[in-house]
C-alpha cells in the first residue's frame, strides 16, 4: 500500500509525519504529544522559501541548509528512537517561478540540486538522505537528467530512496503522471526496481493513475474541502481547529478508498470526534 506523510491537526494520532524545515517547531510540538504513535518521519527541505521570486538561495547558503537538515535529524533521532527518518537534501524547484533559480543554461535548478546532493552524501554519509529528483517546469522528461547524473556518480547504488520533487504546485494531471511514470520506468529499465519512490505534494486525483508505482507521498493540502459535500458546506480553507480536524478526516478517508494506508487509530479518532462520514 502507498504511505502518506503529513502534519495532521494537533489532536489526531498519525504515524507518518512530515516536518517542515522552515517551521520545524510546529512539527516537534506535534511529535512531543504523539511520539508513541509515530514510526516514520520525512524532513522536507523547506523549498517554499522560493515562492518569493526574489529569493535565490536558502538562508545562510546551501552549506548552511545542509547542516540544518542534519541538526533536525539528530533532534528527531533522540526523540523518536527506532523511527524511520528520511532527510531531504536541499533542492531547487522550478515550478514556483520557472528558470528563476537557474544560474545559467549549464547551471539550472537540476545542477544546483545535484551539487547539494553531493555535499549531503559526501559530508554526511551516515544520514538517511531522501534524494530529490528535480526537473524543469512542465518538462517531465527533464527528470531523467537528474537520474542520469545520479547514476553516473554512483549515488543510486548507495541511496535507494528518491523523491520526485518538481510537482508541488503543478495542476496539470498529465504532467504529474508523466513525470512520475518517467522516473519509475527509467529506474526499472536500469535495474533499480527496489528503490523507494516518494513524491512531494502529490495531488489526490493523480493517485489512481499511479497505482503500483509509488511507495509514498506527502501533502498538507487537506486544509481545503476535498469532496463535493464538504465543498457545499463551505469552499474555503479550514478556519478553525474543528474544521481542520473535519477536513483532515474527510481527506484521509478518501485516501483510504484509493488504497493508501491509513492508520486505524486515526480513523477511530475521526469517528469518535467528527461527523466526517456525512461529507465523504
- Asked whether the whole model's pTM tops 0.85, one would answer yes
Long-range contacts, stretch 276-279, CB < 8 angstroms, 24+ apart:
276/246, 276/249, 276/250, 277/253, 278/229, 279/227, 279/229, 279/230, 279/233, 279/246, 279/250
Residues 6+ apart with CB under 8 A from 157: none
Taking the C-alpha atoms of residue 218 and residue 212, their distance in angstroms, rounded to an integer, is 17
Q: Where are the domains of the chain?
A: 39-219
Instruction: Count CB-CB contacts under 10 A for residue 78.
Output: 8
Per-residue pLDDT of the chain (280 residues; tens, 9 = 90+): 999 999 999 999 999 999 999 999 999 999 999 999 999 999 999 999 999 999 999 999 999 999 999 999 999 999 999 999 999 999 999 999 999 999 999 999 999 999 999 999 999 999 999 999 999 999 999 999 999 999 999 999 999 999 999 888 888 889 999 999 999 999 999 999 999 999 999 999 999 999 899 999 999 999 988 888 888 877 778 989 999 999 999 999 999 999 999 999 999 999 999 999 988 8
Angle at 25 between CA 118 and CA 249, to 5 degrees: 100
Amino acid at each position: 500500500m502507498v504511505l502518506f506523510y503529513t502534519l495532521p491537526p494537533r489532536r489526531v494520532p498519525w504515524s507518518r509525519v512530515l516536518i517542515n524545515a522552515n517551521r520545524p517547531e510546529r512539527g516537534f510540538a506535534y511529535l512531543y504529544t504523539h511520539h508513541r504513535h509515530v514510526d516514520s518521519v520525512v524532513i522536507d527541505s523547506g523549498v517554499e522559501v522560493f515562492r518569493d521570486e526574489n529569493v535565490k538561495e536558502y538562508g545562510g547558503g546551501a552549506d548552511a541548509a545542509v547542516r540544518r537538515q542534519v541538526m533536525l535529524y539528530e533532534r528527531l533521532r533522540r526523540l523518536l528512537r527506532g523511527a524511520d527518518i528520511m532527510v531531504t537534501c536541499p533542492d531547487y524547484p522550478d515550478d514556483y517561478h520557472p528558470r528563476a533559480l537557474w544560474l545559467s543554461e549549464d547551471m539550472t535548478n537540476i545542477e544546483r540540486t545535484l551539487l547539494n546532493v553531493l555535499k549531503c552524501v559526501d559530508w554526511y554519509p551516515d544520514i538517511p538522505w531522501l534524494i530529490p529528483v528535480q526537473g524543469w517546469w512542465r518538462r517531465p522528461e527533464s527528470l531523467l537528467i537528474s537520474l542520469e547524473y545520479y547514476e553516473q556518480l554512483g549515488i543510486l547504488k548507495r541511496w535507494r530512496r528518491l523523491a520526485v520533487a518538481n510537482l508541488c504546485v503543478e495542476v496539470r494531471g498529465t504532467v504529474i503522471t508523466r513525470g512520475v511514470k518517467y522516473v519509475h520506468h527509467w529506474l526499472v529499465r536500469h535495474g533499480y526496481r527496489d528503490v523507494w519512490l516518494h513524491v512531494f505534494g502529490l495531488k489526490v486525483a493523480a493517485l489512481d493513475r499511479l497505482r503500483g508505482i509509488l511507495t509514498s507521498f506527502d501533502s498538507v493540502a487537506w486544509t481545503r474541502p476535498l469532496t463535493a459535500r464538504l465543498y457545499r458546506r463551505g469552499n474555503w480553507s479550514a478556519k478553525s481547529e474543528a474544521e481542520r480536524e473535519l477536513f483532515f478526516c474527510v481527506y484521509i478517508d478518501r485516501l483510504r478508498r484509493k488504497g493508501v494506508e491509513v492508520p486505524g487509530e486515526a480513523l477511530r479518532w475521526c469517528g469518535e470526534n467528527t461527523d466526517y462520514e456525512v461529507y465523504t
